[in-house]
Structure 1
Amino acid sequence: MLKSVKILLPALICVSVMVLSGCGKKTDTEKAVAVETNNEAMGAEESLDSKPLGISEGRTTEGMLPVYFNFDSSEIKADQVPRIEVNAEFIKKTDMNVRIEGNCDPRGTNEYNMALGERRALSAKKYLVNLGVDESRLSTVSYGEERMLLHGHDELSWSQNRRDDFVVVQ
């Protein structure tokens, strides 16, 4: 008897839920939320002739390259010098302003990573200025570990997060 109750009770509950949930009719709320399409709220039509700048690698604007760092370091590595030189040439031949965004991997405290990200951004800014970029066209910000590209817990993920991104600002 007890065995049949244990089997029958869950089945009865499932059937009750299915019967009570059923398909409902459209309510007044759903009708009120329905989107009306009218062209009065549309803005002026914009030309598609201009080509917006995209993202090339990391979160860096197309035409420039991110610069990667060693663990716990803000020094521009020798193998990253060609990347920062590409960025300097891009900035010098345009009239755009660039924000250098310092990033870190998730190891370390939030406060430490914010400071390290700032040191990385300032290091890249100093290097660009030494290459002839006008300092007034450069700004820096540190995101610490807040804008990771890869969320893995391995060296590959961490190495991709230890970077400076170079973003055109309007």
Structure 2
Amino acid sequence: MVGFPTGVSVVTAQARDGRPWGMTCTSLCSVAPDPPSLLVCLRRGSPTLDAVLESSALAVNLLHRNARSTAELFASGAPDRFERIPWVAAPDGGPHLVDAAHTIADCAVSAGHEVGDHVVVMAEIVGITSLRTPAPLLYGMRRYGTWAEDDDTSFLSYDFIS
């Protein structure tokens, strides 16, 4: 699947003790428009997954093209990641990464299914926050990328960022 470019998100949740958790996630897809639902695949044993399942809520922060450093930070497992970037608490989901996301979906967890070393988390969207024009950060071929406009503005091509 390395050859399948996809958008980059950070899934966040708040544990019962109030501590925020989050991890970079490219395993995300829309499931249904009614009710609006999506799924994310999170690694078993992850503190973020534990917080998602404890709280039955999560936020999917869809990262914009200039948020590569946030994607890398949340992929690193750094324990101080929430001290290093701006975020705000949300009543209906996980923390909102206000500087890194173009759109945030707050979700209620509806089911979880173990598959291998991951859990497929099914979630119903309860709120959407649009922060800026979508200009998504993409990932594929083990590299980050963005949409780049060609001379013909009706056609977009994929440029990798090394």
Structure 1-normalised TM-score? 0.24
Bigger-Rg structure (1/2): 1
Query: Which structure has greater strand proportion?
Result: 2
Greater share of helix: 1
